[in-house]
Amino acid sequence: WDGINGVSFQYLSLDLGASDSQQFAPGQYVYPNADIEASIYMASYLHHLTLFNRPSSYLLSVAGGSVDADFQVGASFLPPGETDAAFSQSSTGYADPNAQMVVNLFGAPPLKHNFDLLDYEPTLTVDAAVMLAVPIGEYDDEKMVNLGLNRWYGRIAFPVTYYFGAFTPGDRNSFELIPSVWLFGENDDFMGQKLDNDPLWQLEAHLTHDFTRTFWASLDVLYRNGF
């Protein structure tokens, strides 16, 4: 409700392998026979407020850590100074920080006090969300592996959530549909070249169910096109 603040800290340990595949990341590809290990720390600050007489929130996030990659690439993607298609690279430092604003468009009245939650049972809610990342993270123009992207990028989304059944802990059910689009600026120094991408259109859906007060499950679907 209005005025509430939240702080979160996360640690992600990732070990990614790829064979004959390309996976989306906002500026990088995962190449065949690649092995990527990453240790990422994330900190976020969340603030709830009322904007245009609608419940809203903004989120500020920073991240950093290290990424190590062993992979093979085609000759056209060899970094300067590399003559073998099999090589290793790493990056350490800060990633690009980002800010996100969410404004409810329908279905969720502003809640001023915690006791307002006692009688609140949502049915259908529609939000608008905008995220923007600032390109100030660690970046080396002679590397393919970087924590920063050296370009602006962001996401525009319209999350829709429908709650059904009893809205009590242990009995909640929801269907969530999140259409969105990722937009990317140009990286004008990607190993001596320019890197430009078309928008990435994304449709995400979740069907959730509370089995108990402390255990829930979700069936998820994700579709992407473009980039």
Query: Per-residue pLDDT for 19 more than 60?
Result: no
pLDDT surpasses 90 at 46: yes
Tens of pLDDT along 85-101? 677 889 999 999 999 99
Q: Which residues lie closer than 8 Å to 118 by C-beta, 6 or more apart?
A: none
The whole-number pLDDT of residue 21 equals 47
**Is the Cα dihedral 29, 32, 34, 40 positive or negative?**
positive
More confident residue, 194 or 219: 219
More confident residue, 10 or 122: 10
Q: What is the pTM of this model?
A: 0.81
Q: pLDDT-derived band of residue 121, with 50, 70 and 90 as boundaries?
A: confident
pLDDT in tens, 133-144: 999 999 998 888
Q: What is the pLDDT of residues 145-166, one digit of tens each?
A: 899 999 999 999 999 999 988 8
Question: Rounded to 5 degrees, what are φ and ψ at 220?
Answer: -120, 145
CA 151 to centroid of chain Cα atoms = 16
Among 86, 6, 97, smallest CA distance to 49 is for 6
The SS3 assignment for 223 reads: strand
d(CA 181, CA 195): 19
Give the chain's mean pLDDT.
85
Per DSSP bridges, beta strands 187-190 and 173-184 are: unpaired
Angle at CA of residue 139, ends 136 and 140, nearest 5° = 150
Beta strands in 149-199 (DSSP E): 153-157, 160-164, 173-184, 187-190, 193-195
> Hey, what are 2's tokens?
């209005």
**Pairwise pLDDT comparison (162 vs 111), residue with the higher score:** 162
**pLDDT tier, 31 (very low <50, low <70, confident <90, very high otherwise):** low
